[in-house]
Amino acid sequence: MTDISLDTLTASAARPRRDIGLKKRYAAERRFRLYGVLAIAIGLAFLAVMLTSIVSKGYTAFWQTTVTLPINFDEKIIDPSNKRATDPNVLITANYPKLAEQALIEKLGIDPNNKADVRKLKGFLSDSSRVQLRAIVAADPSVIGTTRNVDILAAANLDSAFKGQIDLDVPESRRKVSDQQVEWMNKLKAEGVMAEHFNTGLFSYGASSRPETSGVGVALIGSFYMMVIVLLLALPIGVAASIYLEEFAKKSRFTDLIEVNINNLAAVPSIVFGLLGLAVFINFLGLPRSASFVGGLVLTLMTLPTIIIATRAALAAVPPSIRSAALGLGASKMQMVFQHILPLAAPGILTGTIIGLARALGETAPLLLIGMVAFVADYPKTPFDPATALPVQIYMWANEAERAFVERMSGAIIILLIFLMAMNIVAIVLRRRFERRW
């Protein structure tokens, strides 16, 4: 009897298992998982490629080639007819580039009478030598007649060549520096006269048609003004609105309307805020175009929903027991909110504000419409003066054809990204340090 049962047992064991396609299903499982990894890899790869491409194009912008020349402040060139005591214009209109050119001729050992060689020197030094040398003479007129070492900026094309960005194998006629200039450049380099220095000008100059003297100085000040205005307006108004909606408002049609509005404003395209700014602030209220004040107002309206949403989340995260305790001890509702809830929600509010500010700092589109695309060379003294913003400056350089401007543009992007990263890191640190889990 037991034999039979054993037989049937072995028979059933020997029967192949019903095929439920496990192999296929596991393969599908692995494939699916691979898709996920691929998706993430594509995203991260793009991020890496983008950042590398910008950094590799832009890091050279932080260095600038200069030529240290012993400038002889020759009286015969600056003031040939010796009238500077009576006519102050002489010192302003003098031919300063000629001083730099002469020093260079001497340094290179060119025959000053060889017109062809002298002509090839054109475009070696930046025209900004005029401004630079004039400032030296204006500060101290006694310098005339003496010789002094001055760092003169190299022209943008020579700067690119010095950094090795110009392919010297290309035929001479098709590149912007001549063979002769390259030879001189190498000579000066060997002597240690021509060298790269940290480019402080990138941070201090305003707009200029010459790449070597253009910088983000005006844009930094404009962006700073705007951030201050956004902070001063959006933070108090945003916090006040959130307190009302979260702590005081009873659910009604009106508060529903406000909520729908805030959620929608958070998703309205930023360029629409630019149209609002143009129509209301500039056309209707008559505020000046290109002013960082108007930019600040537009960015405030844009940032408010972000701050309100973050603040409401922070307020809602404070547990009701705190509220009950405060009210139970006899605090009024207003006292409860301002003396207990708000301090506890402060880290969350600050984090949201910083993230909102970071977004406002990188915003470009609305600023284009209110006339921030402007050639501004002078520092804005007040928020009502014409200014640009950092991202707008980047946009303007993107429209320039010269390669030296592309370098500056990438440098400016690096500056912008560093600012944004710093703000985000501060936000993350704040959140980590002060966040309380209830």
Partner 1 sequence: MSFLLVFAIVLAIGLAAFVVGRQRARAQDDGTVKPHSRAHYHGWWAFLTGVVPAVLFLAAWDIGASAYLNSHIHSSLPADVADGTVAHEDLSAGLVKSLASGLRKLDSQTLATLPSTFTELQPMLAAKGVALAPDTQDYMIPIATETNSVSDRLGMISAVVSIGLALIGVGFGLKGISPRARARNNVEKVMLWSLLGASTLAILTTIGIVLSMLFQTIAFFEKVPLTNFFFGAVWDPRFAAAGAGASEGQFGLIPLLAGTLYIAFVALLVAVPIGLMSAVYMSEYAAPKVRAVVKPALELLAGIPTIVYGIFALVTLGPFLRDISAALTGGTPFIQAQSILTAGLVMGVMLIPVVSSLSDDIITAVPRAMRDGSLGLGATRSETIKRVILPAALPGIVGAILLTASRAIGETMIVVLAAGVAANLTLNPFEAMTTITVKIVNQLTGDLEFNTPQTLVAFALGITLFALTLVMNIVALYIVRKYREQYE
In the region spanning residues 384 to 413, those forming contacts with partner 1, defined by CB under 8 A, are 391, 394-395, 398, 406, 409-410, 413
Burial of 67 (0-12, 13-18, 19+ CB in 10 A): buried
123 dihedral zone (left: phi>0; alpha: psi -120 to 50; beta):
left
Q: Which two tokens stand for residue 65?
A: 């080639």
For the chain, the residue count is 438
Name the residue with tokens 């037991």.
2
Query: Minimal distance in Å, beta carbon 381 to partner 1?
Result: 14
C-alpha–C-alpha distance, residues 121 and 184, integer Å: 9
237 lies in the site for partner 1, by CB under 8 A: yes
C-alpha–C-alpha distance, residues 171 and 6, integer Å: 93
Query: Minimal distance in Å, beta carbon 393 to partner 1?
Result: 10
Question: Quick one: which of 137, 269, 212, 153 has its CA closest to 411?
Answer: 212
343 lies in the site for partner 1, by CB under 8 A: no
Among 99, 326, 358, 404, binds partner 1 (CB under 8 A): 358
Binding mask 76-105 for partner 1 (x = CB under 8 A): ------------------------------
Listed in sequence order, the residues at least 6 apart from 63 whose beta carbon sits closer than 8 Å to its beta carbon are 163, 196, 197, 198, 199
Query: Minimal distance in Å, beta carbon 171 to partner 1?
Result: 21
Burial of 368 (0-12, 13-18, 19+ CB in 10 A): middle
Number of amino acids touching partner 1 (CB under 8 A): 85
Query: Minimal distance in Å, beta carbon 365 to partner 1?
Result: 4
133 lies in the site for partner 1, by CB under 8 A: no
Among 154, 161, 369, 415, binds partner 1 (CB under 8 A): 369
Q: Which is nearer to partner 1, 26 or 198 (CB)?
A: 26
C-alpha–C-alpha distance, residues 431 and 346, integer Å: 10
362 lies in the site for partner 1, by CB under 8 A: yes
Q: What 3-state class would DSSP assign to 201? A: helix
Residues 160-219 that bind partner 1 (CB under 8 A): none
57 lies in the site for partner 1, by CB under 8 A: yes
Other CB atoms within 10 A of residue 201 CB: 18
Q: Which is nearer to partner 1, 201 or 366 (CB)?
A: 366
Residues 14-43 that bind partner 1 (CB under 8 A): 25-26, 28-29, 31-33, 35-40, 42-43
Asked if 387 and 221 count as a contact pair (C-beta separation under 8 A), the reply is yes
Q: Which two tokens stand for residue 384?
A: 């009502």
59 lies in the site for partner 1, by CB under 8 A: no
270 lies in the site for partner 1, by CB under 8 A: yes
| DSSP states of 106-138 | HHHT--TT-HHHHHHTTTSB-TTHHHHHHHHHH
364 lies in the site for partner 1, by CB under 8 A: yes
Among 263, 321, 339, 382, binds partner 1 (CB under 8 A): 263
Among 417, 426, 430, 431, binds partner 1 (CB under 8 A): 417
Q: Which two tokens stand for residue 325?
A: 């305790």
Q: Which is nearer to partner 1, 97 or 305 (CB)?
A: 305
C-alpha–C-alpha distance, residues 58 and 54, integer Å: 6
Of the candidate spans 144-152, 277-285, 345-353, 378-386, the one that interacts with partner 1 by CB under 8 A turns out to be 277-285
55 lies in the site for partner 1, by CB under 8 A: no
Question: Quick one: which of 277, 300, 305, 307 has its CA closest to 229?
Answer: 300
Among 110, 275, 287, 317, binds partner 1 (CB under 8 A): 275
Among 8, 200, 264, 382, binds partner 1 (CB under 8 A): 264
